[in-house]
Structure 1
Amino acid sequence: RKGKFDAIIVETTGLADPAPVAQTFFMDQDVSDAARLDAVVTVADAKWLSDRLKDAPEAKNQIAFADVIILNKIDLVNEAGLNEVEARIRAINPYAKVHRTQNCAIPISEVLDRKAFDLDRIIEIEPDFLEEGHHHHHDEEMQSVSLRTDRDLDAGRFLSWYSDLIQAEGLNILRSKGILSFKDDDQRFVLQGVHMILDGAPQRPWEPGERRESRLVLIGRYLDVPSLQAQFQACVAG
Structure 2
Amino acid sequence: MQEASRHPYPAPAAPDDRLPVTILTGYLGAGKTTLLNRILSEDHGRRYAVIVNEFGEIGIDNELVVDTDEELFEMNNGCVCCTVRGDLIRTLHGLLARPGRFEAIIIETTGLADPGPVAQTFLVDQSLLARTRLDSVTTVVDAHNIRRQLEHSADAAEQIAFADQIVLNKTELVGAEELPRIESLLRGLNPLAPIHRSRRADVALDSILNRGGFDIDRIGTLMQEAPAPHAHDHAHEGGHSAHAHHGHECEEDHDGCGHDHATACDHECGHDHDHHGHEHEHAHEASHIHQSGISSISLTSHRPMDEARISHWLGRLVTEQGADILRAKGIIDVAGDDRRLVFQSVHMLLEGDWQRPWRPGEQRCSRLVFIGRKLEEKGLPQAFEACAAESP
Q: Same fold (TM over 0.5)?
A: yes
TM alignment of 1:62-73, pairs within 5 A: 62-73=159-170
1:14 Cα shift?
Answer: 5.1
1:226 Cα shift?
Answer: 8.6
- The answer to whether the 8 Å contact 2:295/2:372 transfers is yes
Q: Which residue of 1 aligns with 2:283?
A: 137
Q: 1:186 to 1:78 in 2, by over 3 A?
A: closer
TM alignment of 1:147-226, pairs within 5 A: 147-224=299-376
Task: Compute the RMSD of aligned alpha carbons.
Answer: 2.3
| SS in structure 1 of the partner of residue 295 of structure 2 | strand
- The answer to whether the 8 Å contact 1:26/1:32 transfers is yes
Q: Which residue of 2 aligns with 1:106?
A: 203
Deviations, residues 116-152 of structure 1 (Å, cap 9, x unaligned): 1111221132532646943553313222111122222
* Farther-moved stretch of structure 1 (186-195 vs 217-226): 217-226
State the AA in 2 paired with 1:197: L
State the AA in 1 paired with 2:223: I
| SS in structure 2 of the partner of residue 184 of structure 1 | coil
| SS in structure 2 of the partner of residue 71 of structure 1 | strand
TM alignment of 1:13-24, pairs within 5 A: 13=110, 16-24=113-121
Partners of 1:33 and 1:176 in 2: how far apart?
24
- The answer to whether the 8 Å contact 1:144/1:218 transfers is yes
Q: Which residue of 2 aligns with 1:36?
A: 133
Q: Which residue of 1 aligns with 2:386?
A: 234
1:195 Cα shift?
Answer: 0.7
Unpaired runs of at least 5, structure 2: 1-46, 48-98, 231-248, 252-279
1:15 Cα shift?
Answer: 5.3
- How many residues align? The count is 238
- The answer to whether the 8 Å contact 2:184/2:250 transfers is no
1:4 Cα shift?
Answer: 4.4
Deviations, residues 165-214 of structure 1 (Å, cap 9, x unaligned): 21222111110011122223333221110011111122234444443322
Partners of 1:87 and 1:213 in 2: how far apart?
25
Partners of 2:172 and 2:336 in 1: how far apart?
55
Unpaired runs of at least 5, structure 1: none
Q: Which residue of 1 aligns with 2:83?
A: none
- The answer to whether the 8 Å contact 1:90/1:137 transfers is no
* Farther-moved stretch of structure 1 (207-216 vs 22-31): 207-216
Name the % identity.
Answer: 46
State the AA in 1 paired with 2:383: Q
| SS in structure 1 of the partner of residue 185 of structure 2 | helix
TM-score by length of 1: 0.90
- Which 4+ stretches in 1 moved above 6 angstroms? none
